[in-house]
Amino acid sequence: MSQSVGKYETVVGLEVHMQLQTKSKVFASDPAQFGADANQNTSYITMGHPGTLPLLNEKVLEYAVRLTLALGGKVNRSTGFDRKNYFYPDLPKGYQITQDRNPICLGGQLSIQTGGKSREIPIHHVHIEEDAGKSIHDQNDRFSLVDLNRAGVPLLELVTEPALNGAEEVDAFINGIRQLVQYLEICDGNLEEGSIRCDVNISLRERGAKKLGSKVEIKNMNSLRNIRRAIAFEEKRQAAMLDRGEEILQQTRSFDADRGSTFPLRSKEMAHDYRYFPEPDLQPVLISQEYIDKIESSLPELPWQLRRKYCSALGLSLYDAEVLTDDKKTARYFEELLETEVPAKAAANWVMGKVKSYLNEQQLSISDFPLSAARLASLIKLVEAGKVNQLTAQQQLLPALIADPEANAEELATTLNLIIEEDGNLASSTIKQVLDDFPDKVKAFKGGKKGLTGFFMGEVMKRSKGKIDPKSANKMLITELNKV
Amino acid sequence: MQKKYSSLQQVQEALRSGQTSCRELVSYYLGQIQENKALNAFLEVYSAEALSYADEIDRKLSSKQDPGKLFGLTVGIKDVICYKGHRVTAASKILENFESTFTATAVERLVAEGAIILGRLNCDEFAMGSSSENSAFGPVRNAADPSKVPGGSSGGSAVAVQAEMCLAALGSDTGGSVRQPASFCNVVGLKPAYGRISRHGLIAYASSFDIIGTLTNCLEDASRMLEVMAGPDEFDSTAIQESWKVNEAASERAKKLAYFPAVMNHKGLDPEIKSAVQDFLQQQEATGIEVHPVEFPYLEYMVPTYYVLTTAEASSNLARYDGVHFGFRSEDSRDIESMYRKSRTEAIGEEVRRRIMLGTFVLSAGHYDAYFTKAQKVRRLIAEKTADILSEYDFIVTPTTPTTAFPLDAGEYRDPISMYLADIYTVQANLAGVPAISLPLFHHSNGMPFGIQLMSSKFEEHRLLAYGQQIMSNLRPA
């Protein structure tokens, strides 16, 4: 599904930067966590003092291999680092250590769903690099301030082929990456805090044309909404230029969120010659097959694997499968429910229904849900066994259990007098009572108003206070009505 | 010039026998430093600290505690090596007041074994130069003739040992910066194999060439220091994993020596140096060692390859001296652009700026393949050919330098190209990563000393040192 403007087709390539959630930085033992006071996580190595050398954090390599394998890419078994040279105050060494010639991951793809269709987006490569610090220009009239806490925090940069057709696919792709890195537990996937940042390369070409148009790069985007707006703006701007027969200049632009438009960066900022060359302070990294195998065997089940399983083995709908796998914690909770041998459909309905609405109301994440999967399972089992009816369970037993999460569900139901009468006497006496109390309606039913079954049933359930099993009561009611 | 102590063994015997105390020893060297101030070898002397450390060693000796393998070794360190709480300037104005917050691994290991650091030594700025004149703090002078240079870049280190201001000194060697001044100053200069000693705490000039080396009176001291400094270091992933031990029983006999006729016939080579090396080779042959002329087809490419690659790395390594986080910042910077430009122009010397610009050029788009990539390929050829020769021959013998020490401010040597060409014999060991030593064997009729250079296979310092030892005891009786 293309988002093209008129006769043009939009082509987007992404550079996605993911901040890895390692304890320490990529080339130094300083803490890598977000949120410390300015310049606290900065040793002499991070500050690039004379005489310092980088030391590769092996966890970073492991995370990169994890992502490579999850994307079906080829692990580059002879990988290595390069220097990217440029001057900026938040770049303490005057160069960034990155991977230019031999990135860790070659190729791979990510499947995205848009408009009910699924498409594989090819990935060019993924490489490891260090983040820069932060320049702060608005806290002092005369000086710019620099915070180097972020300098040296490990990043993976994923570069796609120019294969995304418009904002909808870009959105799906970034969401897919966010979900994947969370499943892999290598990045928290938080766009707002800048854990994922994107450069968006966008060009237009006439529909059906093979050759790519000149691209414009929009730097440093960290919100899906702004990415959509920036793409929409560029589509219009470039289409208008092409219509006028103007040439699109290859350019680096920035998005102004207040105006909803993009503007070119100064040509000076674009004219970088980064003078990449092999980083002489680090040895090439040779990766053994055993190492790759070990990481492969430790990979968690990935979202698309779970979805396939839920659809084919458990018979859930694709929609249900998507909701359940949207974030890893929900999927894990659902998996725990399945382990208790609760029927899959019932488990799915509870998680997507009452549990989800409770979490939404309370603005909680599922990891903060008071009931363990085992507790919720015991409640679901009461319903499935016909001991508590569904509505009662949802409206009365669940809130009671949440209020007292350590309680035994069945004991609580008994205390609250919610257990269905097993012998059917209550059902038959209530039905008799209802039919006796509404002779006119019974007559009308006999006269052909079959729709009145619902009325009788509602009355029966109301009077029995939910203590009867609605399914068997319904059967008994129909038998009784036909007898009259 | 008879030295009071010419080896660590002598020093340690004197200390153990009570003939002298460590305090007295350190005082002696401090006096020597004072007396030779005009040579401008030391940039800073840690007198009080050295004396109190000497007292500690005296206490250990009198209470029979282990004073460490190198106790009593007075050391000067080239001012490109970090020592916590002390300034380290790389002889540059841009680091004039910079104090290091950590200690180089090599220094830490020396100190842990009882060595006493006396101070930091003058050199060419950022170790770039062959005369120790490129220092923001004035040139170093040769003790044999103060009108002459001591060589460089570790000129202060060579002169400090030459004039007995310390027993040994640390230098750094990227293309001959330990061996060339050793040759000019009549001391032993050892450049270990690349990776033998951690570079953690060594201010980088060209990372894939740099190595810490020693300037000593004798090979025994060089090998005792190497033993302590060598070995793996978690702070330097290019340092090799093996440790290195002094081989007490080493009686390495060379069987086959190689020399390069093209080197011997080089037009820049001083005739007296040439004949000294020829005589040396003949003497060796007379003792039954095979001596073979070997063709080395890349001789003329050595210096250009070296300068393309080292300046490339230097242009990047020195980018951090930008006036932002530490070091000098120009007073009249108005914006970020002028802060960078003015700080670097005002506080970095001409030769270093020249090399930064050369390196920036060879790495820039459009020139990269013609210079950098090409030079990398040539480096590999040089390294492979060197390794081939050293797999067939025990050692390669060359002069260390084509001339003896030249006068300060010598007009012809102001030409950077001829200065670079003077590195012709020493850069090979750095291009190939092999160890090399300069042995102080000769004196020229002009009164100046000069040395001879030996190279061995990578990581075969024990053979190099053992053979060097033999030569020294045969040719230069103590």
Q: Is position B437 within any domain?
A: no
- Chain B contact residues (CB < 8 Å to A): 81-82, 88, 90, 95, 98, 100-102, 104, 199-204, 206-208, 234-238, 312-313, 315-316, 318-320, 322, 324-326, 336, 340, 360, 363-365, 368, 372
- pTM of the entire predicted model: 0.90
CB nearest A55 (choices: B95, B237, B364)? B237
E-strand stretches of A161-284: 196-206, 216-221, 251-256, 261-264, 277-278
Contact A94 B312 (CB under 8 A): no
Nearest C-alpha of chain A: how many angstroms from B104?
8
Is the pLDDT at A25 greater than 70? The verdict is yes
Chain A stretch 84-103, residues whose beta carbon is closer than 8 A to a beta carbon of chain B: 85, 87, 89, 92-95
CB nearest A280 (choices: B82, B104, B208)? B208
Backbone phi, psi, residue A14, to 5°: -115, 145
DSSP string spanning A220-252? EE--HHHHHHHHHHHHHHHHHHHHTTPPPPPEE
Q: Kindly name the residue from B78, B148, B191, B458 that is annotated as catalytic.
A: B78
Average pLDDT over residues B19-33: 98
- Encode B192-227: b = buried (16+ Cβ within 10 Å), e = exposed: bbbbbbbbbbbbbbbbbbbbbbbbbbbbbbbbbbbb
DSSP string spanning B112-135? HTT-EEEEEE--SGGG--SSS---
What CATH number matches the domain at A425-483, 1.20.210.10, 1.10.10.410, 3.40.50.920, 1.10.1740.10? 1.10.10.410
Which tens digits make up the pLDDT trace of A316-343? Answer: 998 999 999 998 999 999 999 999 989 9
How many beta-carbon pairs below 8 A join chains A and B?
96
Q: Kindly name the residue from B177, B208, B223, B315 that is annotated as catalytic.
A: B177
Rounded-to-integer distance, Cα A214 and Cα A201, Å: 10
Rounded-to-integer distance, Cα A293 and Cα B220, Å: 50
Please identify which residue in the block is written with the tokens 């080396």. Answer: B213
Rounded-to-integer distance, Cα A420 and Cα A214, Å: 70
B413 or B134, which is more confident? B134
Contact A94 B234 (CB under 8 A): no
The one-character DSSP state at B153 is S
Class of domain A301-369: mainly alpha
The one-character DSSP state at B319 is G
Which range, of A423-432, B261-270, B298-307, averages the lowest pLDDT? A423-432
Token pair belonging to A34 = 């977000």
Contacts with A275 from chain B: Cβ below 8 Å: 315-316, 360, 363-365, 368
Token pair belonging to A93 = 């060494």
CB A262 within 8 A of CB A255: yes
Q: From the candidates B82, B320, B352, which should be mutated to test the interface with A, based on the most A CB atoms within 10 A?
A: B320
Q: Is position B400 within any domain?
A: no
Contact B88 A50 (CB under 8 A): yes
3-state SS of B371-430 is HHHHHHHHHHHHHHHHHHHHHHCCEEEEECCCCCCCECCCHHHHCHHHHHHCCCCCHHHH
The residue segments making up the domain with residue B90 are: 8-248
Between strands B74-78 and B168-173, the pairing is parallel
Which range, of A92-96, A274-278, A430-434, A462-466, averages the lowest pLDDT? A462-466
Q: From the candidates B83, B101, B309, B325, which should be mutated to test the interface with A, based on the most A CB atoms within 10 A?
A: B325
Q: Is position B300 within any domain?
A: no
CB A324 within 8 A of CB A355: no
Backbone phi, psi, residue B189, to 5°: -120, 120
| Amino acid letter, A302 | L
| B148 in catalytic set | no
Write down the pLDDT at residue B412: 54
DSSP string spanning A111-149? EEEETTEEEEEEEEEEEEEEPP-EEE-SS-SS--EEE-S
CA neighbor of B182 nearest in space, from B418, B404, B434: B404
Give residues with Cβ within 8 angstroms of A179, minimum separation 6: A189, A303, A325, A326, A327, A328
Average pLDDT over residues B19-37: 98
Is the pLDDT at A455 greater than 70? The verdict is yes
CB B8 within 8 A of CB B224: yes
CB B253 within 8 A of CB B288: no
- Indicate the domain borders of chain A: 3-291, 301-369, 425-483
The one-character DSSP state at A397 is I
Nearest C-alpha of chain A: how many angstroms from B370?
14
CB nearest A280 (choices: B207, B235, B326)? B207
Contact B319 A95 (CB under 8 A): yes
Nearest C-alpha of chain B: how many angstroms from A51?
4
CB nearest B319 (choices: A53, A94, A144)? A94
Write down the pLDDT at residue B252: 64
Write down the pLDDT at residue A94: 97
Write down the pLDDT at residue A1: 35
| B177 in catalytic set | yes
The per-residue pLDDT of chain B, averaged, comes to: 95
Which tens digits make up the pLDDT trace of B196-224? Answer: 999 999 999 999 999 999 999 999 999 99
Rounded-to-integer distance, Cα A94 and Cα A49, Å: 11
CB nearest B326 (choices: A49, A146, A281)? A49
A280 touches chain B (CB under 8 A): yes
Contacts with A144 from chain B: Cβ below 8 Å: 336
Q: In what order do the strands lie in the sheet with A95-98?
A: A95-98, A82-85, A277-278
- Where residue B243 sits, what CATH number does that domain have? 3.90.1300.10
Number of compact structural domains in chain B: 1
Write down the pLDDT at residue A433: 86
Token pair belonging to B53 = 């450390």
User: Given 3-state DSSP classes, what are the helix, strand and coil percentages for chain B, each rounded to the nearest 5?
Assistant: 45, 15, 40
Give residues with Cβ within 8 angstroms of B12, minimum separation 6: B71, B72
Contact A44 B201 (CB under 8 A): no
| B316 in catalytic set | no
Is the pLDDT at A2 greater than 70? The verdict is no
Q: Kindly name the residue from B7, B131, B132, B153 that is annotated as catalytic.
A: B153
Nearest C-alpha of chain A: how many angstroms from B319?
5
CA distances from B352 to A158, B99, B100 (A): 38, 21, 21
Rounded-to-integer distance, Cα A231 and Cα A336, Å: 41
Write down the pLDDT at residue A473: 83
Q: Is position B232 within any domain?
A: yes
Contacts with A53 from chain B: Cβ below 8 Å: 199-200, 235-238
Which tens digits make up the pLDDT trace of A278-295? Answer: 999 999 999 999 999 999
CA neighbor of B452 nearest in space, from B470, B471, B474: B471
Write down the pLDDT at residue A4: 43
CA distances from B405 to A90, B146, B345, B476 (A): 45, 10, 30, 21
Instruction: Count CA atoms closer than 13 A to B297's CA, side-chain side.
Output: 5
Rounded-to-integer distance, Cα B152 and Cα A113, Å: 66
Contacts with B203 from chain A: Cβ below 8 Å: 50-51
Rounded-to-integer distance, Cα A181 and Cα A327, Å: 11
Above pLDDT 90, what percent of chain B?
A: 91
Q: Is position B309 within any domain?
A: no
Contacts with B368 from chain A: Cβ below 8 Å: 275, 277
Write down the pLDDT at residue A282: 97
CB B465 within 8 A of CB B223: yes
Nearest C-alpha of chain B: how many angstroms from A248?
24
The CA angle A139-A145-A151, to the nearest 5 degrees, is 130
B142 φ/ψ sector (left φ>0, alpha ψ -120 to 50, else beta): beta
Give residues with Cβ within 8 angstroms of A82, minimum separation 6: A97, A98, A99, A100, A101, A276, A277, A278, A279
CB nearest A56 (choices: B104, B202, B237)? B237
Contact A275 B368 (CB under 8 A): yes
Rounded-to-integer distance, Cα B111 and Cα B118, Å: 11
Backbone phi, psi, residue B151, to 5°: 85, 180
Write down the pLDDT at residue A463: 84
Write down the pLDDT at residue B221: 97
Torsion of CA A436, A441, A446, A451, to 10 degrees: -120
A47 touches chain B (CB under 8 A): yes
Rounded-to-integer distance, Cα A92 and Cα A134, Å: 11
Nearest C-alpha of chain A: how many angstroms from B237?
6
Rounded-to-integer distance, Cα A105 and Cα A128, Å: 9
**Tally of CB atoms within 10 A around A446:** 12
Rounded-to-integer distance, Cα B165 and Cα A406, Å: 80
CB B441 within 8 A of CB B475: yes
Interface pTM, i.e. ipTM: 0.95
Closest B-chain CA to A89:
B324
Is the pLDDT at B304 greater than 60? The verdict is yes
Average pLDDT over residues B94-122: 98
CB-based contacts of A416-419 (< 8 A; 24+ apart in sequence): A417/A465, A417/A467, A418/A388, A418/A392, A418/A393, A418/A466, A418/A467, A419/A387, A419/A388, A419/A467
**Tally of CB atoms within 10 A around A109:** 16
